[in-house]
Amino acid sequence: MNTASEVLDISPVVPVVALDDAAHAVPLGQALLRGGIRTIEVTLRTPAGLPAIEQLAAEVPEIVVGAGTVTEVGQADKAREAGARYIVTPGSTDRLLDDIDATGLPYLAGISTVSEAMRLAERGVTAMKFFPAEASGGVPYLKSIAGPLPQLRFCPTGGIDTDNAGRYLALPNVGCVGGSWLAPKQLLAAGQWGQVEALARQAAALG
Catalytic positions are 41, 129
Alpha-helix runs per DSSP H in the chain: 4-8, 25-34, 49-59, 75-82, 94-101, 114-122, 138-146, 165-169, 185-190, 193-204
Say if strands 86-88 and 64-68 run parallel, antiparallel, or are unpaired. parallel
Cis geometry, peptide bond prior to residue 132 (ω within 30 degrees of 0): yes
Half-sphere exposure of 8 (CA within 13 A, CB side): 22
How far is residue 101 CA from its own chain's centroid?
18
Strand partners, 17: 42
Integer CA distances (angstroms), 151 to 7, 62, 91, 121, 173, in order: 16, 30, 20, 9, 8
Distance CA 81, CA 45 (A): 17
Sort residue 127 into left (φ over 0), alpha (ψ -120 to 50) or beta. beta
